[in-house]
């Protein structure tokens, strides 16, 4: 059994000790620099308000597990969770609409929630204003986590199973040898360890620097006040009975504390603090994570508060603080084993709301090698290099603080710093009027205004105000032009690696489900975990006997392969040094052929084959595949040739009516063809049969996950990814909406787009297997409307692959 040291006894550390010891991993030492069970971190002073609803299913599941665990936990005869329910308030029509959307997120994650009228909200919370309120989102299972009590309960339970908690003991260094953790140095001596888990909250960056790790975490001060008793609450005798409240339009939340209210406020300017500058337990006035209240920042808070709770007009603030907690560059926590040091794990930037769920996933990950929930959004190794710079961390952390309650469209890109990364085609894309969104820091065109003239020829159904944000009818015109002719897509932002060296083939065949045929072949395959959950889908281009070029999904994939590669195999991220263009459409071969003497006929360069050739003067790897379901090529070259490659194709393309097409067209086309997108359509919670990807798994075994995969009975699945066709082509959905059957939520949408060739609105969705047969009638809830949809053929476009193979 490994020796495990956990740094920090906040909600995450205590819960992790509990989860590990529950699973029989009892050689656990929790080292805490403060005193137990009030050590002075964020958990020690936070009000513990829990709203489970989240646009990320994983985060919502973490919250659900936290509520379930704390609610079932008693300490000293007291419950650790007050299930008082929650109300999110709307005082404007757009906020009311947003509440309906959020109700959809909740239902998609299996959380009971619905929008209620202002009268119903008033009945639940008598302090609320009568006239301004338009409605509220009610989640009966939300409430208040009594986190300190929970820490004590979980901590003592872990101790009773053999764990040790060492208080007033600060970790000052991490010991390592040969790239592996060996222990920690503390103010009370050293503790040996095979695994160290940093659950240090706002001190996370400081612990990270002990091992040379930059953590994308920014501690920020957040204002929290408590009022004096409010006469209107004088009849309340218990800690809390009223639902917790959020008034997002004014950046406020509230909870009852007996006869007074706690008011939290995100409306002030961001107040970043460096992890290294946080005061020690000895020097801090109250506790390290509490900084003195800055009154000038509070301006405006009470105005917004009184707007929804008029009784606050005469109330006095009796307690106030600038409390510290963490924000990250992308709003997700940091979880998992850091690729820079074996045995060094992190679980940080976690709210109390998600604390117990995160800890459970961490324990499963440490013990089984994978958590049961999909955690790719939270993986500590997910970041792009630029996201780990201190300026970026501070700026993005601060901006995410500002936007925490903002109404954000799913396609809303970060606004600053932009442009940050550009591909070698950027100049030409700008000249064509590219409308850019951001992906991995790159500018990525969604459509091109230069194609506006095509709209008259190819029309798209109109969209409502919300779904027409970051959208243009040009997208549809681009799709249809490519289907008839040929289009140029920038695919540079998709990640690429090289895997080379002695044993590369054996290594890849061990970790992927593909049969990697001879040099010159291309294979689409999967990486599975031991449970046969899909960790990624990848495209392997075999350039030589020991030379592979692979399209992967994320840095997590790259780190995974790097960690497991034997010494003779080299895994290298070549994304920034290379560029990729997709040349797709029925005229793509003619166009490419016009630039080379090499034979590109179907007989010589068939589907899923590759060739190193020159297009004009540009050396390229020409790969016969396309993610959009048309005849075509992915073309790769080094970054220095980018402009020349674009210009060469553009010049030659004039004869064939070549257009540049954006990511919008790409998404619409891939969905019509039924091509899944990893992380959106499927993840590690799903096996290949469920996701409709068993064709990508080779027969037999010998790859990771084979035993579990071969045990799956494809005729006895509990759920499936299906293609839903909406009854009305004008009914647009965007993804993450709940799927209903006879009025009950039974699944959720992953990706959705209008299929321009087939003239139908499509939505891929997870549904129970018994509802997955073609023709089954379901509905998708979009805001407050239920759109009828039917399980359709998958894929809808060219199921015989005639166009791709032509
Ligand atoms: C004002 C305020 C209000 C909030 N309200 C809510 C809310 O309503 N709902 C919600 O979900 N979240 C809320 N949060 C956020 C939430 O409090 C935190 O995200 C959460 O408590 C973090 O838990 P943790 O266990 O990761 O960190 P912490 O609770 O900070 O625990 C980390 C522990 O690590 C210890 N430690 C650090 N470095 C060392 C070292 N070198 N050696 C030994 N020990 C070390 C610290 O002493 C600390 O006890 C709020 C935060 C603030 C500031």
Global pTM exceeds 0.95: yes
Report pLDDT for 517: 86
**Pick from 566, 405, 536: which is nearest to 51 by CA?**
405
**383 pLDDT more than 90:** yes
Report pLDDT for 394: 97
What is the distance in A from the centroid of ligand 1 to the CA of 200? 8
Tell me the average pLDDT across 776-784.
98
Q: How confident is the model at residue 700 (pLDDT cuts 50, 70, 90)?
A: very high
Report pLDDT for 524: 97
Report pLDDT for 421: 97
Report pLDDT for 282: 87
Nearest-CA residue for atom 5 of ligand 1: 46
CA–CA dist 559, 573 (Å, integer) = 10
CA–CA dist 284, 741 (Å, integer) = 56
253 catalytic per annotation: yes
pLDDT digits (tens, 9 = 90+) for 474-485: 999 999 999 999
pLDDT digits (tens, 9 = 90+) for 559-608: 999 999 999 999 999 999 999 999 999 999 999 999 999 999 999 999 99
**509 pLDDT more than 90:** yes
Report pLDDT for 761: 97
Report pLDDT for 130: 85
Q: How confident is the model at residue 457 (pLDDT cuts 50, 70, 90)?
A: confident
What is the distance in A from the centroid of ligand 1 to the CA of 44? 7
The size of the chain, in residues, is 806
Report pLDDT for 106: 98
Q: What is the mean pLDDT of the chain?
A: 97
Tell me the average pLDDT across 709-726.
98
222 catalytic per annotation: yes
**794 pLDDT more than 90:** yes
> CB within 6 Å of ligand 1 — which residues?
7-13, 31-34, 39-43, 46-50, 170-171, 199-203, 207, 222, 224, 264, 289, 323-325, 348, 350-353
pLDDT digits (tens, 9 = 90+) for 281-320: 888 988 999 999 999 999 999 999 999 999 999 899 999 9
Report pLDDT for 584: 98
Which atom of ligand 1 lies closest to the CA of 39?
A: 49
Three-state SS at 806: coil
CA–CA dist 196, 207 (Å, integer) = 11
Helix (H) or strand (E) holding 62, with range, is helix 57-72
CA–CA dist 652, 654 (Å, integer) = 6
What is the distance in A from the centroid of ligand 1 to the CA of 521? 51
Is-cis flag, bond preceding 795, omega within 30? yes
What is the distance in A from the centroid of ligand 1 to the CA of 7? 12
Q: Give percent of the chain with pLDDT exceeding 90.
A: 98
> Which of 5, 6, 7, 8 to mutate to test ligand 1, by most ligand atoms within 8 A of the CB atom?
8
Q: How confident is the model at residue 661 (pLDDT cuts 50, 70, 90)?
A: very high
- Work out the end-to-end distance of the chain between its first and last CA atoms, rounded to an integer number of angstroms: 57
CA–CA dist 728, 698 (Å, integer) = 39
**Pick from 409, 366, 320, 805: which is nearest to 586 by CA?**
805
Which atom of ligand 1 lies closest to the CA of 321?
A: 1
CA–CA dist 334, 325 (Å, integer) = 14
pLDDT digits (tens, 9 = 90+) for 73-85: 999 999 999 999 9
Report pLDDT for 458: 85
């Amino acid at each position: 059994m490994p020796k495990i040291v956990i740094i920090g006894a906040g909600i995450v550390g205590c819960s992790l000790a509990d989860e590990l010891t529950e699973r029989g991993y009892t050689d656990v030492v929790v080292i805490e620099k403060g005193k137990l069970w009030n050590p002075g971190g964020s958990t020690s002073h936070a009000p513990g308000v829990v709203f489970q609803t989240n646009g990320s299913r994983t985060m919502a599941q973490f919250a659900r597990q936290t509520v379930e665990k704390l609610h079932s936990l008693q300490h000293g005869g007291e419950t650790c969770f007050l299930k008082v329910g929650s109300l999110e308030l709307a005082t404007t029509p757009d906020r009311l609409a947003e509440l309906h959307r959020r109700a959809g997120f909740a239902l998609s994650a299996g959380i009971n929630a619905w929008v209620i009228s202002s009268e119903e909200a008033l009945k639940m919370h008598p302090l609320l204003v009568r006239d301004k309120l338009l409605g509220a989102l009610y989640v009966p299972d939300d409430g208040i986590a009594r986190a300190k009590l929970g820490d004590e309960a979980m901590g003592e339970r872990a101790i009773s199973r053999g764990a040790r908690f060492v208080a007033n003991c600060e970790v000052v260094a991490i010991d390592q040898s040969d790239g592996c953790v060996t222990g920690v140095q503390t103010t009370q001596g050293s503790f040996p360890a095979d695994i160290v888990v940093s659950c240090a909250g706002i001190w996370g960056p400081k612990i990270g620097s002990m091992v040379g790790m930059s953590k994308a975490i920014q501690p920020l001060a957040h204002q929290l006040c408590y009022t004096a008793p409010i006469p209107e609450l004088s009849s309340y005798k218990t800690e809390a009975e009223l639902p917790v409240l959020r008034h997002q339009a004014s950046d406020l939340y509230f909870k009852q504390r007996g006869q007074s209210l706690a008011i939290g406020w995100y409306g002030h300017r961001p107040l970043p603090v460096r992890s290294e500058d946080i005061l020690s337990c000895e020097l801090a006035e109250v506790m390290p994570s509490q900084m003195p209240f800055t009154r000038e920042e509070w301006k405006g808070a009470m105005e917004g508060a009184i707007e929804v709770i008029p009784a606050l007009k005469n109330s006095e603030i009796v307690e106030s603080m600038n409390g510290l907690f963490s924000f990250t560059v992308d709003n997700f926590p940091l979880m998992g084993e850091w690729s820079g040091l074996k045995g060094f794990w992190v679980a940080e930037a976690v709210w109390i709301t998600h604390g117990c769920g995160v800890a459970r996933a961490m324990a499963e990950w440490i013990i089984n090698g994978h958590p049961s929930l999909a955690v790719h959004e939270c993986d500590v190794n997910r970041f792009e290099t630029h996201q780990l710079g201190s300026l970026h961390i501070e700026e993005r952390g601060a901006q995410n603080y500002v936007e925490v309650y903002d109404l954000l469209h799913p396609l809303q890109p970060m606004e600053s710093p932009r442009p940050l990364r550009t591909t070698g085609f950027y100049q030409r894309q700008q000249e064509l009027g590219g409308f850019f969104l951001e992906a991995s820091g790159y500018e990525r065109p969604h459509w091109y205004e230069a194609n506006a003239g095509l709209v008259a020829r190819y029309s798209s159904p109109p969209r409502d105000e919300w779904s027409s944000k970051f959208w243009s009818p040009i997208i549809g015109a681009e799709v249809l032009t490519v289907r008839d002719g040929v289009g140029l897509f920038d695919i540079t932002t998709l990640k690429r690696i090289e895997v080379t060296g002695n044993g590369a083939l054996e290594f890849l065949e061990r970790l992927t489900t593909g049969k990697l045929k001879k040099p010159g072949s291309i294979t689409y395959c999967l990486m599975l975990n031991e449970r046969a959950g899909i960790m990624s889908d990848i495209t392997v281009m075999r350039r030589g006997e020991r030379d592979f070029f692979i399209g992967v999904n994320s840095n997590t994939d790259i780190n995974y392969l790097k960690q497991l590669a034997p010494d003779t195999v080299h895994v290298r991220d070549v994304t920034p040094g290379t560029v990729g263009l997709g040349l797709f459409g029925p005229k793509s071969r003619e166009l490419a052929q016009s630039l080379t003497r090499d034979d590109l006929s179907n007989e010589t360069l068939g589907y899923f084959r590759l060739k190193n050739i020159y297009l004009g003067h540009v050396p390229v790897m020409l790969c016969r595949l396309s993610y959009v379901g048309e005849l075509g090529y992915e073309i790769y070259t080094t970054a220095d040739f980018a402009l020349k490659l674009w210009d060469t194709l553009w010049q030659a393309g004039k004869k064939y009516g070549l257009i540049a097409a954006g990511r919008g067209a790409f998404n619409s086309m891939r969905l019509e063809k039924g091509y899944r997108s990893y992380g959106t359509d499927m993840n590690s919670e799903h096996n290949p049969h469920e996701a409709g990807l068993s064709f990508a798994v080779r027969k037999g075994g010998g790859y990771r996950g084979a035993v579990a995969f071969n045990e799956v009975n494809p005729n006895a699945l509990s759920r499936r990814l299906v293609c839903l066709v909406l009854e009305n082509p004008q009914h647009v959905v965007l993804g993450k909406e709940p799927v209903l059957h006879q009025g009950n939520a039974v699944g959720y949408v992953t990706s959705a787009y209008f299929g321009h060739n087939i003239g139908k609105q499509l939505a891929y969705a997870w549904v129970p297997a018994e509802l997955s047969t073609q023709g089954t009638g379901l509905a998708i809830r979009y805001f407050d409307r239920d759109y009828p949809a039917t399980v359709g053929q998958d894929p809808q476009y060219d199921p015989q692959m005639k166009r791709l193979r032509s």
